[in-house]
């Protein structure tokens, strides 16, 4: 039974380490999307043309 407690403690420590690593990577900007905003203007016209086809202004 003591091995279950030891494995439980080890798994909680590993989970905390991964959670701390995740928080640090988010704060350092690891998951910031710097590519999409630069190409968004290339696809804006296609979206507005599709909207015009669905709801024509005239």
**Sign of the Cα pseudo-torsion (45, 50, 55, 58, in order):** positive
Domain that holds residue 14: 2-54
Summarised one tens digit per residue, pLDDT across range 25-53 is 999 988 888 888 778 777 776 655 555 55
**35 or 56: which leads in pLDDT:** 35
pLDDT band for position 5 (cuts 50, 70, 90): very high
Q: Supply the pLDDT for residue 27.
A: 94
- For residue 15, pLDDT beyond 90: yes
CA atoms within 13 A on the CB side of 54: 6
Structurally, how many domains does the chain consist of?
Answer: 1
pLDDT for 31:
84
């Amino acid at each position: 039974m003591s091995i279950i407690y030891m494995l439980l403690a080890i798994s909680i420590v590993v989970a905390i380490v991964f959670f701390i690593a995740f928080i640090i990577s988010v704060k350092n900007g690891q998951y910031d999307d710097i590519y999409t905003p630069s190409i968004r203007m290339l696809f804006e016209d296609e979206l507005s043309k599709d909207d015009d086809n669905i709801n024509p202004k005239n």
